[in-house]
């Protein structure tokens, strides 16, 4: 299955499994551990870079002036960013949001992935995120925290030289190498 990423229909995302990609409004849903390709048909002299999250992807050039960028999202679920740069300029994309789903989420709820369509997986994913955030919120509310408690320590600057024993222990315990 293929979906155009931009309004000019120049950038195409492709996967062999149509159950692993979906567009709902302005969100493109992808799965972790699934192979995808971004295909760009353009001039030979154009410099293309693609970044997903914090990872810069490797661009493969073909003879017919096409760029192929294979990628697989690993160990990441939730929202991410996809950015395409053409000659160091950001390409405006059709989708504002990119979300990565996991095959493991349905298993947590005792569901078989093969019997679900991607809309059901998205609902389970959203339920999972709401449940996790709810648990974190419950834990945070019960933590002892007071706005009026001191959160810093004052210090006084002195003209005296520091104690050599203090300097030794400070430097010994705060090494960066």
Distance of alpha carbon 39 from alpha carbon 66, whole angstroms: 7
Q: In this predicted structure, what is the pLDDT of residue 144? A: 76
Q: Are 123 and 141 in contact (CB under 8 A)?
A: no
Three-state DSSP state, 63: coil
Quick one: pLDDT band at residue 47, thresholds 50, 70, 90?
A: confident
What is 2-102's CATH number? Answer: 2.60.40.10
Distance of alpha carbon 86 from alpha carbon 98, whole angstroms: 20
**Cα 82 to chain center, whole Å?**
8
Phi/psi-derived region of residue 33, left when phi > 0, alpha when psi is between -120 and 50, beta in every other case: left
- Whether residue 31 has pLDDT greater than 90: yes
Quick one: pLDDT band at residue 41, thresholds 50, 70, 90?
A: confident
Share of the chain above pLDDT 70, in %: 92
The CATH 2.60.40.10 portion of the chain extends over 2-102
28 to 7, 19, 44, 53: CA distances (angstroms):
14, 13, 28, 14
pTM: 0.73
> For residue 168, what is the enclosing H or E element?
helix 164-173
Q: What pLDDT, in 10s, does the model give residues 90-118? A: 999 998 899 999 999 999 999 998 889 89
């Amino acid at each position: 299955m293929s979906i155009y990423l931009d309004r000019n229909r120049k950038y195409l995302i492709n996967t062999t499994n149509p159950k692993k990609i979906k567009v709902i409004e302005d969100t493109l849903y992808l799965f972790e551990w699934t192979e995808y390709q971004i295909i760009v048909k353009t001039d030979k002299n154009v410099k293309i870079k693609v970044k997903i999250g914090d990872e810069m992807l490797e661009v493969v050039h073909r003879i017919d002036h096409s760029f192929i960028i294979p990628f697989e999202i690993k160990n990441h679920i939730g929202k991410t960013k996809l950015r395409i740069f053409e000659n160091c300029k950001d390409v405006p994309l059709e989708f504002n949001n990119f979300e990565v789903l996991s095959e493991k989420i349905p298993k947590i709820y005792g569901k078989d992935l093969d019997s679900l369509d991607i809309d059901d997986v998205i609902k389970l994913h959203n339920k999972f995120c709401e449940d996790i955030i709810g648990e974190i919120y419950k834990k945070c509310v019960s933590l002892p925290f007071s706005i009026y408690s001191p959160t810093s320590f004052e210090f006084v600057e002195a003209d005296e030289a520091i104690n050599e024993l203090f300097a030794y222990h400070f430097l010994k315990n705060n090494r960066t190498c």
